[in-house]
Structure 1
């Protein structure tokens, strides 16, 4: 195999790695925008969470204070946080699965995880 052919293969490989890196970065940007909202069956409580399950908003129907006791309200909030967190986790997995089908999602989405730390830096041959 000629030296020029080796360089062309190496250039092609670097190009493919750079394209995959860019796709993963775009996926990361999309993942940061994910959110999910869960609403209780009675419509009294809605909770919105972000991609890591962080609570972004809690909304109450104005009638809630006449219908639910404090303990019922608390239980409803916790339940909606759980539902929304599960929903956003499924959306995150769906977003990432095409690019990284066997990735251990639960291990990656811990606190302070950055996709960029797993990616090779773009380079040239």
Structure 2
């Protein structure tokens, strides 16, 4: 015989499945996030991924040939910093409003976040359902 909590439990499981699907989609979109920056005079073009890893360095013109080594190094570093900032901004936009208070995107991307802060050990549910899950259906009592 079904209990009065079966529908609530099914609803909670459905909500949990939707949240997992949304999380998987968000992760896919984060993994696809890139940012490409082209330095002035098109001396260099740098592409980075969501975590700031360099995925491509290109020299679209011969402008780099006329640069002193220090100038080229400065242009590379500046473009790299800008690309990383743009990638982080893209990821931040994907996660806007989805992170718990106190959890920042840089901390999340750099592995400095305790998973329990993002996904609590015990899912949220009404007290009556929690009691049913913990102790089973006890029927009506006259207490």
Normalization by structure 1: what TM-score? Answer: 0.80
TM-superposed CA distance for 1:45, in Å, is: 1.1
How large is the Cα RMSD of the aligned pairs? 2.4
Q: Which of structure 1's runs of 4+ aligned residues deviate more than 6 A? A: none
Report SS of the residue matched to 2:42: coil
Report SS of the residue matched to 1:5: coil
Q: Which moved more, 1:10-19 or 1:100-109?
A: 100-109
Question: How many residues align structurally?
Answer: 116
| Structure with more relative contact order (C-alpha pairs < 8 Å, separation 6 or more) | 1
Return closer, same or farther for 1:72/1:96 CA change in 2, 3 Å cut-off: same
Match of 2:15 in 1: 16
Q: What residue ranges of structure 1 are gaps of 5+ in the alignment?
A: none
| Structure having the higher Rg | 2
For 2:20 and 2:108, the matched residues in 1 are separated by 17
Normalization by structure 2: what TM-score? Answer: 0.71
For 1:23 and 1:13, the matched residues in 2 are separated by 15
